[in-house]
Copies of this chain bind each other. A is one copy, B any other.
Amino acid sequence: MEESCSTVETALEILVGKWKPVILYHLFTSGTMRFSELQRALPNITKKMLTSQLRELEYHDIVHRKIYMQIPPKVEYSITEYGLKMGPLLQAMNDWGTSHMQHLNELYGDDRKVQALEAIQD
């Protein structure tokens, strides 16, 4: 009974964290990226946050971390094969989110949109 909502929470668990959707977006569209590339793609994220978010995604087997044993260090991140299965879900969330923003605009006007864009800043 309660399980049927705790599983929704499982899905949320791996998505929450202010930066995970953006990180996944970049990894899905760009394929393999180095740590520093991700930093450049997300100008406002700190190393600490980027590291922690990636580690959580790695724990969930969504993101793969490949370490090159060399100096200077080189680490590449990519979506795992299992992680690719999330694609449709992310797409569904994206689609719903898009139409919901439209719905909010119809209800309250476009002010909210401005706020949202200001809140992102990257």
- Could you tell me the dominant secondary structure of chain A's interface residues? helix
Q: Does A8 contact B (CB under 8 A)?
A: yes
Q: Does A82 contact B (CB under 8 A)?
A: yes
Taking a contact as CB atoms under 8 Å apart, the answer to whether A10 and B100 are in contact is yes
Identical copies of this chain, number: 2
Cα(A71)–Cα(B121), bound, Å: 49
A7 interface neighbour in B4, B8, B101, B103, Cβ under 8 Å: B101
The residues in A between 1 and 28 inclusive whose CB is less than 8 angstroms from any CB of B are 2, 4-12, 14-16, 21-22, 24-25
Taking a contact as CB atoms under 8 Å apart, the answer to whether B89 and A96 are in contact is yes
Cα(A4)–Cα(B95), bound, Å: 9
Taking a contact as CB atoms under 8 Å apart, the answer to whether A16 and B7 are in contact is no
